[in-house]
Amino acid sequence: MNYTLDFLPVIDGLPSLLAACLGTLGLALGGMILAIIIGIGGVVLRDSGIRQVRWLVIAFVELIRNTPFLVQIYFIYFALPLAGIRLDPTPTAIIALGINGGAYAIEIIRGGVQSIGKGQIEAGLALGLHKTQVFRLIVLKPALRAIYPSLTSQFILLTLTTSVASAIAAYELTSVAQRIESDSFRSFEVYGAVTLFYLVMSWLLMRIFGLIQSRYLSYPVK
């Protein structure tokens, strides 16, 4: 092995790589907000009582969860212009991430809502709590507690999935890394360093989510 590692291109590219981390987090955040909107809407539609709508939501969830994100993002990338919508790669990527995450969010939120027993709501009403009190104290917080871990790990997964958006040249860490790599040919050094960037990002997110959970969502000890 007579290859010498050279991290100079990585060091030179550090400012643009760090800026691209924000691009990655932006994609993930935008995608997650859209995913939660789709998730809540999907659960409401699924339980709407209209059978056709219910099946449509189920079909959406199954379709998205059983096809690769790469194929989805290509499909959306090529389908939007046909629908007369011309978007840059980055908004397109957010839409694709939102649709992908949305299918998972529907399942997660539905599980959280189901975890609240009917008897608990009835008990709350029987105790003379107001309807909004029942919702706030008996439904919302326990449901949030139940879905929080899955929803936050879904968010971290979504952050890692953003790297696939480089396939349509959205602005994020991987596509910037690819540009530096094609300028310098230092493939291993660039991708190795960028892998560490992702590791730090997901570790930080995990810590932050964990702190929020223990601060606001843990059961009061007593």
CA 202 to each of CA 68, 196, 215: distance values in angstroms, whole numbers, following the listed order: 22, 10, 20
Stretch that binds another protein, among 45-53, 90-98, 140-148, 166-174 (CB under 8 A): 166-174
Told to check if 203 binds another protein by CB under 8 A, we report yes
Q: How far is the CB of 14 from another protein (least distance, A)?
A: 17
First-last CA distance in the chain: 62
Told to check if 207 binds another protein by CB under 8 A, we report no
Told to check if 72 binds another protein by CB under 8 A, we report yes
Stretch that binds another protein, among 41-49, 84-92, 133-141, 196-204 (CB under 8 A): 196-204
Of 140, 167, 169, 217, the one binding another protein by CB under 8 A: 167
Told to check if 183 binds another protein by CB under 8 A, we report no
Told to check if 48 binds another protein by CB under 8 A, we report no
Structure tokens given for 41: 């809407």
**Nearest C-alpha neighbor of 178 from the set 13, 51, 29:** 13
Stretch that binds another protein, among 9-17, 112-120, 131-139, 184-192 (CB under 8 A): 184-192
Told to check if 92 binds another protein by CB under 8 A, we report no
Contact 152, 88 (CB under 8 A): no
**Nearest C-alpha neighbor of 124 from the set 113, 109, 140:** 140
Of 14, 50, 58, 67, the one binding another protein by CB under 8 A: 67
